């Protein structure tokens, strides 16, 4: 038996079979029908055929798991099965043949063919099934033809003409010769250049293919005679092939579907020379065709370009596709195949009947066959059943046929003008999905409508803040008084008035007053950096700022002399009745600033009518009324506040202003919701997620909320499941929106169905707005295809203040309605069949972080203003769970820059929500081959740029590490890592406080996380807080409880925290640190606490510096009370041999000077951030006062172990006389450095030895 290597084509088939064993994925099947048949002669014909063709007798030989070999079997005995199906119905018959086609072959040492004669009614079918490793699609039809020819010769004269097929060895030799040829080298060079790079999106589509089942279906679409004639006439007139025409159309179609200019489609060439036309074998070449669709070309020129590309590829078609894939993988490109859609064209003389094997490697395969003998044109589509429905494929074929007809009817038009939507789809998307006409009070202003509501409900509570409240009448009168002052200051329509206030009733008064005066308010957060406030005042042209006294004291100089400031309560002597209105509904109501790409924010100009139609129209989707209670949760600088404020006030409801601190504390916010009986809640999904988690810890279902309205960022519906179960009658409503179209644009109620599917369904356009999904040429894209979301209608804002070009770019003329404007959102979406929209993220670099729109370019511009920053790029990342987004800045600098310095630099220019969570130092920013930033090459910050890892020691630290890792979604967090430098932000901090409460049953405020952002700091704080509340001695356990304890007493610094690091190195004992306490009987309090922890002796005490005098006195007292002391470990302490009389003022001054020195030398604010400087001064003063009154005398029974510093302090030897057992050890470091690195580790080793012995 001679073994031969597989050819490249065969290797590809074998590899496929290896990936999907025991399937029919590599079957090629044909069915030939006869009216009548001589069964013995047909069997003889089949035997003759197999004997004549070596190729049919090839088998595979397994080679110990490696690539198999092949060999030829001589003298085969061919088995032909006979099956009688009787009078089976056509549908059942088709299913039977399909089942047979899916029978798999035994791959090794077995025949790779199968012949079955099928009797059915008055006809007989010859069913031939072969493995693809033997024959290709053309060959299987030839097999049927050749057997039929032999059969007919046997029927006619019983003599078969000799068959002289190409020897199998020559078939193999031909490939070997090619691989050694110059042509092979040229082909290789061509293909390596053609696919030197591949797009990220292609890789993603291929990966998605391999995650789905291969199971596929085939639908056959006969092309009508009328269309066929048109196609043939065009091809003949312009000298192009039907193959070229169809391929050029597919490139245009999938360019639009994928929203990409460059597309790769699979094409299949027979790879047969003229002499090979009737040869059997695996000849077919798989060829990836890569083209960039130039939509500015005329259609005919595009077709000719496709033709030229085909001709170039035809010269290199012989190069094995699998070899190209292997070479790409060897060069680091992780790709399994180069296309997901394939097309082949065949002109067939005799109509065989190939049977589909039920599998496809592509998402779609299009087979175009022209049957020359019957002059028929047939399009067959194979499609993955998990990826398409039959109706979707029907629609696809309808679109492609329409596209081809449009191309041949208008060959001179630009490709960009071609549409791929069917007329039915256009009608659906433009009319049916956008039936949103509604009437609203077009001529009325916001303040006029508010005044109407005041007349209806004058004594209802309008607004509440903490203990204060105003009725509608009181609110209206205060606003009127202030509006008169503003009028006197010259405010008129479209004037912008700055509004800079803390949360209070005055915010609402101020907004209404500015509107009543005729102006438009410009909200400015007083916590913004001064530079940003100055820009907003200058850009808005605000000549007047309405504010509060506390803010004016701090910021009144901002803006210079051109800006006047007015205190909001300066209304003395003003009348309270309504002013006469000087506004029209088309006047400005407000200008809200959002992030901008130029490095500065941009102001969005919104008119009264834009807001009015949002809340008051005759097709409203809401049932708000005067019984509703709303919260003003969001900042008045965020447009969600517009919805919250007017939603309450224009319907007569109550508006509860949420204090700033409460917005950050879910538990407190829930208490407010209960206390105020809030019915309408508006939240970003991120904020609500933390709120919902907190509510799940509350047993009763006692909230009164009837609607939760989401906006500001993408919603993950699955996260709402727990809330929905607890509050099944609360409506959950997802509303997509953007400032430029006035808060909200779409509406979708989230039910169990959406929660289960977890798709970000944003629903349908709200009344008075229309939504369109368009491609980059502003053509409609088909249902189910992602495109850019455009919004038109009465909510579209006036534009950007002082930015005419940007306004022209984003607010464009509608191609569908003359005279109407559309806003280009930059967001991606697609239509569902029912007219709902699904949100798919951003088309550009703009990101949304916790509801805030952020242009990374603005952050980049601010960073580039730093003197050492040479280059920078900012991108967003998703957490591993996909439930949060954070920013990372990649910085190239002329010298190393501390992260803290970069953060502080940005804080001078940007609001806190724009500060990146991570900063990564780079040698250079990676670029793509076309010179753009290669975002995929930027390293993920959570995995590669971690600080030095310090492991947890105590049980509490381990618990906190686990909590941090869960909240931040990253691993290997050390106890010295900074929460906000590992991806934390305010919402994550809220989640952290909730999780600590849940796991540790400890309630802390959000401010605690900002104060103690490191785990070790937080653990010490939590321990200290707990012990301070439980005992007066300030006792802290620094590690886990063991059978033995070591009680430690501090130096003059007064806090036991100095011993926290020792717990890393001393693990055999529970290490307790005592604070110094100012108490007349401090010794007994210490003893009581130690005995409570350890009821029986012996006791081991350790003191550092002044703590040595303390433990000596403690030991004397304890021994006198009968307690056994095993050891006194003294770290470089001096005995007190005389009392000192110093005034308290002098001691106070001494303590202050010492603490100041320690802050400078030892950075106490870093290591002891839980204490203020005054805490230290007070503790040190009290400690000094105690020591000044102390005289160490007498002896103890316990041994004294003295560890000395490198300082010369002879007085230390006095301890030798105060015990019968004295041991002295030379420690490391001077007196002040003995408990800090690197000396600390050496001294701890001495302590370990003492404890061990």
* Coil vs helix vs strand at 1130: strand
- Pair of tokens at residue 953: 């020691």
261-275, 517-531, 636-650, 1081-1095: lowest mean pLDDT where?
Answer: 261-275
Structure confidence at residue 770 (pLDDT): 97
- Per-residue DSSP letters for 1089-1106? HHHHH-SSS-EEEEEETH
- Pair of tokens at residue 168: 């199998």
CATH of the domain at 40: 3.30.559.10
Secondary structure string (H, E, C) spanning 1132-1160: CCCCCCCCCCCCHHHHHHHHHHHHHHHHH
Element (H, E) at 470: strand 468-471
What is the DSSP-derived secondary structure letter of residue 927? B
d(CA 46, CA 25): 25
For residue 1040, pLDDT over 80 is answered with no
What's the pLDDT tens digit per position in 297-326?
999 999 999 999 999 999 999 898 888 988
- The mean pLDDT value for 698-723 works out to 91
Q: Does one domain contain both 1068 and 1101?
A: yes
Q: Which residue has the higher pLDDT, 1040 or 169?
A: 169
Q: Does one domain contain both 198 and 333?
A: yes
Q: Please list the alpha-helical segments (H only) found in 31-136.
A: 39-52, 90-101
Q: Does one domain contain both 46 and 139?
A: yes
Q: Does one domain contain both 185 and 112?
A: no
Cβ atoms 1098, 1124 nearer than 8 A: yes
What's the pLDDT tens digit per position in 785-825?
989 999 999 999 999 999 999 999 999 999 999 999 999 99
Element (H, E) at 603: strand 602-607
Domain for residue 1047, yes or no?
Answer: yes
Structure confidence at residue 929 (pLDDT): 43
Name the domain count of the chain. 5
d(CA 183, CA 480): 89
Q: Does one domain contain both 501 and 406?
A: no
- Reference 429, options 21, 836, 869; nearest CA is 836
Alpha carbon of 898 to those of 869, 905, 1009, 1161, 1162: distances in Å?
12, 11, 22, 20, 20
Q: Does one domain contain both 89 and 155?
A: yes
- Pair of tokens at residue 752: 């169990």
* Coil vs helix vs strand at 336: coil
Query: pLDDT exceeding 90 applies to what percent of the chain?
Result: 53
Domain for residue 1106, yes or no?
Answer: yes
Give residues with Cβ within 8 angstroms of 90, minimum separation 6: none
Q: How many residues comprise the chain?
A: 1253
DSSP-derived pairing of the beta strands 602-607 and 799-800:
antiparallel
- Pair of tokens at residue 773: 């999904």
What is the DSSP-derived secondary structure letter of residue 1201? E
Task: Identify the bridge partners of residue 658 per DSSP, sorted by sequence position.
Answer: none
Domain for residue 33, yes or no?
Answer: yes
- The mean pLDDT value for 1236-1251 works out to 86
Q: Is 840 exposed, middle or buried (0-12, 13-18, 19+ CB in 10 A)?
A: middle
Tokens 């820009």 belong to: 535
Last residue of one domain, picked from the residues 917, 944, 971: 944
Cβ atoms 44, 52 nearer than 8 A: no
Q: Is the dihedral of CA 195, 198, 202, 204 positive or negative?
A: positive
Q: Is the dihedral of CA 757, 760, 766, 770 positive or negative?
A: negative
Q: What angle do CA 801, 593, 735 make, to 5 degrees?
A: 110
Q: Which residue has the higher pLDDT, 613 or 940?
A: 613
d(CA 959, CA 31): 69
DSSP-derived pairing of the beta strands 1035-1037 and 1070-1074:
antiparallel
Percent helix, strand, coil in the chain (nearest 5)? Answer: 40, 20, 40
Give residues with Cβ within 8 angstroms of 875, minimum separation 6: 845, 856, 887, 888, 890, 935, 938
Where is mean pLDDT largest: 52-56, 57-61, 730-734, 969-973? 730-734
Domain for residue 1124, yes or no?
Answer: yes
- Reference 981, options 925, 941, 1021, 940; nearest CA is 941
Domain for residue 962, yes or no?
Answer: no
Cβ atoms 643, 744 nearer than 8 A: yes
DSSP-derived pairing of the beta strands 761-765 and 746-749:
antiparallel
What's the pLDDT tens digit per position in 200-248?
788 888 888 877 888 889 999 999 999 999 999 999 999 999 999 999 9
Q: Does one domain contain both 578 and 546?
A: yes
CA dihedral 977, 978, 981, 987 (to 10 degrees): 120
d(CA 369, CA 367): 6
Cβ atoms 412, 741 nearer than 8 A: no
User: Sheet containing 1200-1204: which strands, arranged edge to edge?
Assistant: 1035-1037, 1070-1074, 1045-1049, 1099-1104, 1125-1131, 1200-1204, 1222-1226
- Per-residue DSSP letters for 815-866? SSSTT-EEEEEEEEEEE-TTS-EEEEEESSS-EEETTEEE-HHHHHHHHHTS
Structure confidence at residue 955 (pLDDT): 82
Q: Which residues of 218-236 are buried (b: 16+ CB within 10 A; e: fewer)?
A: beebebeeeebeebeebbe
Q: Is the dihedral of CA 1019, 1021, 1026, 1032 positive or negative?
A: positive
CATH of the domain at 209: 3.30.559.30
Structure confidence at residue 1019 (pLDDT): 85
Domain for residue 922, yes or no?
Answer: yes
Last residue of one domain, picked from the residues 944, 975, 1010: 944
Q: Does one domain contain both 328 and 277?
A: yes
d(CA 1007, CA 990): 10
Residue 1109 belongs to domain spanning: 1031-1139+1190-1252
Structure confidence at residue 1002 (pLDDT): 83
Domain for residue 581, yes or no?
Answer: yes
- Reference 308, options 403, 234, 228, 241; nearest CA is 241
Q: Does one domain contain both 1209 and 1081?
A: yes
What is the DSSP-derived secondary structure letter of residue 409? H
- The mean pLDDT value for 1199-1214 works out to 90
Domain for residue 969, yes or no?
Answer: no
d(CA 382, CA 364): 6
Q: Does one domain contain both 144 and 187?
A: no
pTM: 0.69
Mean pLDDT estimate for the chain: 88
Structure confidence at residue 466 (pLDDT): 94
Structure confidence at residue 540 (pLDDT): 96
- Pair of tokens at residue 203: 């890789």
Structure confidence at residue 446 (pLDDT): 98
Structure confidence at residue 903 (pLDDT): 83
DSSP-derived pairing of the beta strands 1099-1104 and 1125-1131:
parallel
For residue 454, pLDDT over 90 is answered with yes
For residue 481, pLDDT over 60 is answered with yes
d(CA 226, CA 238): 19
Query: pLDDT exceeding 70 applies to what percent of the chain?
Result: 94
- Per-residue DSSP letters for 136-151? -HHHHHHHHHHHHHHH
Tokens 């309205």 belong to: 709
Q: How confident is the model at residue 976 (pLDDT cuts 50, 70, 90)?
A: confident
Q: Does one domain contain both 214 and 298?
A: yes
525-534, 864-873, 1194-1203: lowest mean pLDDT where?
Answer: 864-873
Structure confidence at residue 944 (pLDDT): 39
Cβ atoms 437, 629 nearer than 8 A: no
83-87, 164-168, 847-851: lowest mean pLDDT where?
Answer: 847-851
- Reference 1183, options 1054, 1071, 1022, 1095; nearest CA is 1054
Last residue of one domain, picked from the residues 553, 585, 617: 585
Q: Is the peptide bond before 723 cis (omega within 30 degrees of 0)?
A: no
Q: Which residue has the higher pLDDT, 370 or 115?
A: 115
Q: Does one domain contain both 208 and 313?
A: yes
* Coil vs helix vs strand at 630: strand
d(CA 1111, CA 934): 64
């Amino acid at each position: 038996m001679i073994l031969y290597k597989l050819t490249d084509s065969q290797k590809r088939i074998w590899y496929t079979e290896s990936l999907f064993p025991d399937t029919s994925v590599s079957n090629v099947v044909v069915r030939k029908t006869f009216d009548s048949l001589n069964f013995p002669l047909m069997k003889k014909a089949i035997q003759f055929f197999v004997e004549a063709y070596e190729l049919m007798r090839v088998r595979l030989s397994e080679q110990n798991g490696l690539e198999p070999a092949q060999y030829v079997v001589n003298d085969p005995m061919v088995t032909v099965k006979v099956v009688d199906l009787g009078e089976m119905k056509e549908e059942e018959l088709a299913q039977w043949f399909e089942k047979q086609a899916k029978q798999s072959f035994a791959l090794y040492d077995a025949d790779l063919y199968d012949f079955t004669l099928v009797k059915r009614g008055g006809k007989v079918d010859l069913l031939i099934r072969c493995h693809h490793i033997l024959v290709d699609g053309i060959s299987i039809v030839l097999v049927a033809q050749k057997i039929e020819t032999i059969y007919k010769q046997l029927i006619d004269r019983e003599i078969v003409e000799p068959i002289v097929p190409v020897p199998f060895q020559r078939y193999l030799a031909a490939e070997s010769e090619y691989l050694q040829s110059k042509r092979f080298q040229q082909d290789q060079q061509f293909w390596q250049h053609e696919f030197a790079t591949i797009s990220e999106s292609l890789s993603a589509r291929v990966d998605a293919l391999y995650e789905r089942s291969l199971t596929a279906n085939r639908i056959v679409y006969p092309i009508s005679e009328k269309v066929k004639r048109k196609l043939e006439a065009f091809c003949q007139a312009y000298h192009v092939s039907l193959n070229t025409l169809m391929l050029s159309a597919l490139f245009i179609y999938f360019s639009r579907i994928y929203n990409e200019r460059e597309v790769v489609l699979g094409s299949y060439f027979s790879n047969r020379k003229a002499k090979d036309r009737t040869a059997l074998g695996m000849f077919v070449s798989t060829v990836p065709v890569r083209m960039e669709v130039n939509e500015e070309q005329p259609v005919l020129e595009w077709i000719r370009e496709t033709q030229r590309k085909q001709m170039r590829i035809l010269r290199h078609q012989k190069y094995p596709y699998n070899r190209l894939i292997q070479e790409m993988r060897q060069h680091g490109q992780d790709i399994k195949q180069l296309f997901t859609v394939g097309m082949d064209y065949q002109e067939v003389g005799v109509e065989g009947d190939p049977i589909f094997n039920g599998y496809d490697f592509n998402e779609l395969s299009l087979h175009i066959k022209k049957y020359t003998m019957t002059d028929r044109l047939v399009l067959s589509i194979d499609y993955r059943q998990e990826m398409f429905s039959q109706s979707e494929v029907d629609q696809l074929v309808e679109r492609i046929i329409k596209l081809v007809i449009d191309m041949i009817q208008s060959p001179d038009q630009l490709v960009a003008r071609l549409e791929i939507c069917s007329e039915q789809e256009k009608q659906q998307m433009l009319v049916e999905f956008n039936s949103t006409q509604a009437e609203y009070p077009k001529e009325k202003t916001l303040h006029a409508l508010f005044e109407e509501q005041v007349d209806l409900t004058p004594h209802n509570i309008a607004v509440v803040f903490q203990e204060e409240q105003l009725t509608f009448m009181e609110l209206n009168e205060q606003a009127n008084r202030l509006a008169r002052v503003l009028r006197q200051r010259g405010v008129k329509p479209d004037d912008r008035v700055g509004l800079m206030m803390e949360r209070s009733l005055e915010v609402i008064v101020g907004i209404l007053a500015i509107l009543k005066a005729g102006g438009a308010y410009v909200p400015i957060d007083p916590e913004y950096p001064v530079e940003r406030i100055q820009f907003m005042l200058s850009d808005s042209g605000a000549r007047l700022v309405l504010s509060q006294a506390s803010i004016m004291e701090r910021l009144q100089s901002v803006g210079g002399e051109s800006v006047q400031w007015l205190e909001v309560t300066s209304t003395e002597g003003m009348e309270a009745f309504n002013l006469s209105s000087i506004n029209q509904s088309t006047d400005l109501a407000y200008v809200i600033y959002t992030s901008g790409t130029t490095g500065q924010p941009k102001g969005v100009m919104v008119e009264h009518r834009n807001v009015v139609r949002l809340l008051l129209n005759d097709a409203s989707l809401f049932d708000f009324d005067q019984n509703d209670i709303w919260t003003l949760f969001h900042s008045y600088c965020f447009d969600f506040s517009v919805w919250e404020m007017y939603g309450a006030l224009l319907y007569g409801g109550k508006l509860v202003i949420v204090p700033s601190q409460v917005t950050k504390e879910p538990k407190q916010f829930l208490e407010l919701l209960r206390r105020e009986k809030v019915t309408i809640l508006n939240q970003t999904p991120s904020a609500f997620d933390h709120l919902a988690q907190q509510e799940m810890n509350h047993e009763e279902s006692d909230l009164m909320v009837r609607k939760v309205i989401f906006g500001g960022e993408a919603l993950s519906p699955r996260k709402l499941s727990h809330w929905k179960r607890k509050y099944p009658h609360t409506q959950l409503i997802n509303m997509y929106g953007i400032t430029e179209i006035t808060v909200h644009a779409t509406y979708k109620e989230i039910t169990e169905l959406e929660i289960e599917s977890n798709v970000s369904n944003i629903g349908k356009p709200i009344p008075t707005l229309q939504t369109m999904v368009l491609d980059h040429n502003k053509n409609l894209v088909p249902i189910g295809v992602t495109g850019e979301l455009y919004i038109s209608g009465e909510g579209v804002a006036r534009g950007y203040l002082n930015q005419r070009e940007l306004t022209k770019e984003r607010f464009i003329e509608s191609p569908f309605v003359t005279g109407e404007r559309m806003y280009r959102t930059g967001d991606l979406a697609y239509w569902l069949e029912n007219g709902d929209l699904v949100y798919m993220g951003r088309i550009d670099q703009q990101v949304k972080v916790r509801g805030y729109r952020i242009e990374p370019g603005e952050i980049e511009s601010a960073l580039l203003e730093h003197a050492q920053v040479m280059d920078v790029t900012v991108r967003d990342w998703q957490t591993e769970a996909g439930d949060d987004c954070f920013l990372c800045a990649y910085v190239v600098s002329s010298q190393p820059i501390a992260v803290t310095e970069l953060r502080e630099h940005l804080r001078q220019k940007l609001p806190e929500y724009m500060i990146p969570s991570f900063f990564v130092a780079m040698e250079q920013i990676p670029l793509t081959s076309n010179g753009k930033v290669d975002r995929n090459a930027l390293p993920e910050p959570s995995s590669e740029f971690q600080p030095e890892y310090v492991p947890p020691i105590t049980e509490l630290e381990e618990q906190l590490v686990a909590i941090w890792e869960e909240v931040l979604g990253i691993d290997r967090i050390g106890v010295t890592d900074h929460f906000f430098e590992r991806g934390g932000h305010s919402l994550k901090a809220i989640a952290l406080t909730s999780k600590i409460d849940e796991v540790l049953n400890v309630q802390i405020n959000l401010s605690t996380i900002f104060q103690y952002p490191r785990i070790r700091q937080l653990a010490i704080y939590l321990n200290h807080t707990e012990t301070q509340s439980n005992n007066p001695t300030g006792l802290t356990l620094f590690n886990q409880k063991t059978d033995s304890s070591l009680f430690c007493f501090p130096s003059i610094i007064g806090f036991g925290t100095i011993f926290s690091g020792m717990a890393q190195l001393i693990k055999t004992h529970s290490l307790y640190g005592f604070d110094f306490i100012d108490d007349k009987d401090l010794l007994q309090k210490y003893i009581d606490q130690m005995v409570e922890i350890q009821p029986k002796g012996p006791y081991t005490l350790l003191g550092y510096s002044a703590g040595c005098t303390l433990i000596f006195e403690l030991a004397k007292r304890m021994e006198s009370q009968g307690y056994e002391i095993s050891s006194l470990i003294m770290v470089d302490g001096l005995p007190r041999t005389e009392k000192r009389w110093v005034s308290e003022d002098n001691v106070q001054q001494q303590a202050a000077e010492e603490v100041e020195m320690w802050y400078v030398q030892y950075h106490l604010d870093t290591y002891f951030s839980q204490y203020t400087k005054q805490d230290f001064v007070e503790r040190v003063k009290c400690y000094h006062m105690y020591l000044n009154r102390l005289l160490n005398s007498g002896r103890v029974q316990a041994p004294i172990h003295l560890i000395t510093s490198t300082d010369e302090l002879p007085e230390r030897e006095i301890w030798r006389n105060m015990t019968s057992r004295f041991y002295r050890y030379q420690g490391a470091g001077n007196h002040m450095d003995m408990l800090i690195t690197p000396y600390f580790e050496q001294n701890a080793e001495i302590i370990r030895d003492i404890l061990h012995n």
